[in-house]
Amino acid sequence: MFQNEQFEKYKKLFISEVNSYIEKLNVIVPELEKKHDSKTIEEIFRIFHTIKGMAATMGYEELVQVSHNVENTLQDVKDGKVKITDEIIDNIIRAVDKIESFLGKKKQNVKIVLKKDTMLPTARFFMILNRMKMLTDVSPITPSLKEIKEGKDYFEFIISVSDFSKISKLSSEFSEIESIQTIEEEKVEEEKEIKKLKELRIGIEDLDSLQNIVAELVISKERLINIAKELKNEQLSQVVETHNRFISSLQDVVMKIRMVPLSHIFDRFPRYVRDLSREMGKTVDLEITGSDIELDRSLIESISDPIIHIIRNSIDHGIEPVQERREKGKPETGKIKIIAEREKGVIKISVSDDGRGIDFGKVRKKAVELGYCSNEDEANKLSEKDLLSLLFLSGFSTKENLSTVSGRGVGLDVVRDVIRKIGGNVEIHSKKDEGTIVNLFVPLTMAIIKAYIVKVKGHNFAIPMTFLLETINLSPSNFSYILGKPVILLREEIIPVYSLSYILKLDSEKYEGIIPSLIINIEGKKYIVTVDELGESLEIVVKHLPHTIRNMREFSGTTIIGDGNPCLILDIPNIIG
C-alpha cells in the first residue's frame, strides 16, 4: 500500500516518465500519415502499453482505459483486421491529448472518513467511489483500488480528485460519511518539487557555476599567452601551452555537458504542422534535417518560438491551397523544410517552404500605405533586399485579411528581436511562386563566443563573428557617393559604408590612406564598417555591461581580452542595421 508521501514521490516520477513518452508520440504519430509501416505502429503500441502499465500501478483508471483503447485498435491493425485511417490517427492523437491533459490537471487530495459504526465500510466506500466517478475524475491513493477490492475493512481513505466541489456535498447523500475534506497541498510547492527533481537530474545550477569558472580561466588563458609572448621565455611558453590545452579540454567537456540536441524542440514541430495545416485546410509535409546538432541549453528554448512564428507564416500565407497548387503545376502537398547545420562557428537553422513566395509588388504598395515611402516612385527604387528588411518591422504585413493564425510579416519582428537578443542574426530570401527561406544564425552558447577585435582611436571593440563576413583594406579611390553617403562598389554590389569612429562619436567621418574595413551581414544586407586597426579572432567571455552604460544601445556586453584590458562588445544591428 502506498503511503501518501510515497505516492507523491512516485507520482512525480510517473509524470516525468510519461511526459517523455508524450514527446515521442508527438513526433512519431504524425509519421503514420506518410507511411503505415509496421515498425512505427509497433513503437506506438509499445508506448501505450507501457503507459497503461504505469498508470495501473498508480491507480489512474482513466489513463489505463485511454491507453487500453489505443492498444486494442493497434492490435487490430497489427492483426490485419483494419487498416490505418485518418480517423484512427485522429483518435490516437486525441488519446495523447487526454493523457497530456490528465498530467496537467491540478488535482486535490481529499480525505474521506467513514463513521466507526459503518457496516462493511470498504464495500460501502466502493459504492461511494463509483458515485464520485460519475461526478469527476477520481483516483484512490490509499488504500489502493486493489486493496479496496480485497475487502479488508478501512474507515479512512485518501483519494485524488479533479474537482472537489462536485463531491464536497456527498455526505448528505451517504450518511456513512463522517467527514470529507481536502488535504491542503499548494500547487506551487508541487511544481517546485517537480522542478527540483528535473534540476537534480540535469544539475543546471552546478553547470552554470562551472561555466563561469571556465569563463574566468579562458580570460586568464588569453592573458598568460600575452605575458609569455612579451617575456619570450621558452620554459614559460611551454607551461602556458600545456595550461591552455587543459583549459581547452575542460571547456570542451563543460560545453558538451551543457549541449542539448535540437531534437528537444524540433520533435514538437511535426504535430504542430499537422494540426495547423489541417486547421487551414491545406496539406503540408514537414522535413527535418540536423536534429542531432547540439546547442547550449540556455539558448535552445529561446529559438523555439521564432521557429514556430516562421512555420505558422509559411502554412498560413506561404503554402497555397490544394486547388491553387494544382493550377500552378505544383504537387498538391506543400513542403516545409527545417535544416540545421554548423557554419563558421555558429548554428544555421533554415526554415523554407515551396509556397507563393513574397509578392514584392504588395510589399511596395504597403510601404507607401504605411508611410515608409512617400510615393510609388520611391517604393519602386527599393531593392528586393530593402523590401525584405521591411518585413521585420512591427506590424508590417501584406495580407489583406488577417486570419487567426497570421500573415507573412506578422511576428517576424519578434523573430528578429529574439534572435538578436541571443547574439544571433536573421536573413530572408524569397522568389515568387518558388517559396521563402528564413535563415537563423545562432551562436553555440552565450557565455563564450567567437568575436573579432578591432581598434578605434586606441580603444578595443569586439564584433560577434555571427555578423562578420570578411575583412578588407580599402582606399579613398574605392569610394563613391550616393546622396552624399559613402558607398563601395564591390563585386558588382553597391554596399553602404559606415565609420565606426564616427558612429561612436570618437572622431569625424573621414576616409584617408589605407582604410581597414569589415564587411558585415545584418538580416541578409551587407554593410562596410571602417576601423583604425584590424585585430584577430578570439574566444571571448561575455559579461554584463556596468550599470553606468547599461542603457547605451551601441553595446551588448563587455569582456576582458588578452592584455587584461576591458573591451566593449558592439551591438552591430543596433548601431548599423
Class of domain 108-188: alpha beta
Which one is predicted more confidently, 335 or 3? 335
Q: Are 313 and 408 in contact (CB under 8 A)?
A: yes
Percent of the chain past pLDDT 90, that is, above it, reads: 27
Sign of the torsion angle spanned by Cα atoms 420, 422, 425, 426: negative
Residue 351 reports pLDDT greater than 70? yes
Stretch 212-223: mean pLDDT, rounded? 78
Residue closest to 418 by CA, chosen among 338, 524, 310? 310
Return the pLDDT at 4: 54
Return the pLDDT at 194: 45
| Alpha carbon distances (Å) from 389 to 16, 266, 312, 336, 402 | 43, 27, 19, 22, 21
Residue-wise pLDDT for 165-203, tens only, equals 778 878 888 888 888 887 654 343 444 444 444 444 445
Stretch 270-284: mean pLDDT, rounded? 88
With vertex at residue 305, the alpha carbon angle to CA 302 and CA 308, rounded to the nearest 5 degrees, is 145
Class of domain 448-575: mainly beta
Mean pLDDT of the residues in the chain: 83
pLDDT confidence tier of residue 472, bands split at 50, 70 and 90: very high
Q: Cα separation of 263 and 269, whole Å?
A: 10
Residue closest to 119 by CA, chosen among 143, 155, 156? 155
The strand pairing partners of 516, in sequence order, are 473
Q: Which fold has domain 263-443?
A: Heat Shock Protein 90 (3.30.565)
List the domain boundaries for the chain: 4-104, 108-188, 203-261, 263-443, 448-575
Residue 407 reports pLDDT greater than 60? no
In this structure, whether the domain defined by 203-261 belongs to CATH 1.10.10 is answered with no
Residue 312 reports pLDDT greater than 70? yes
Return the pLDDT at 532: 94
Q: Find where cell 483486421 sits.
A: 81
pLDDT confidence tier of residue 369, bands split at 50, 70 and 90: confident
Return the pLDDT at 44: 92
Return the pLDDT at 474: 94
Residue-wise pLDDT for 38-73, tens only, equals 888 999 999 999 898 888 878 788 889 999 999 999
Q: Cα separation of 271 and 308, whole Å?
A: 12
In this structure, whether the domain defined by 4-104 belongs to CATH 1.20.120.160 is answered with yes
Return the pLDDT at 105: 58
Q: Are 436 and 429 in contact (CB under 8 A)?
A: yes
pLDDT confidence tier of residue 205, bands split at 50, 70 and 90: low
Buried b (16+ CB within 10 A) or exposed e, 402-427: eeeebbbbbbbbebbebbbebbbbbb
Residue 24 reports pLDDT greater than 60? yes
Residue closest to 2 by CA, chosen among 155, 147, 197? 147
Radius of gyration of the chain from its Cα atoms, rounded to whole angstroms: 31
Buried b (16+ CB within 10 A) or exposed e, 172-181: eebebbeebe
The strand pairing partners of 177, in sequence order, are 114
Q: Are 205 and 196 in contact (CB under 8 A)?
A: no
Return the pLDDT at 47: 92
pLDDT confidence tier of residue 489, bands split at 50, 70 and 90: very high
Return the pLDDT at 570: 93
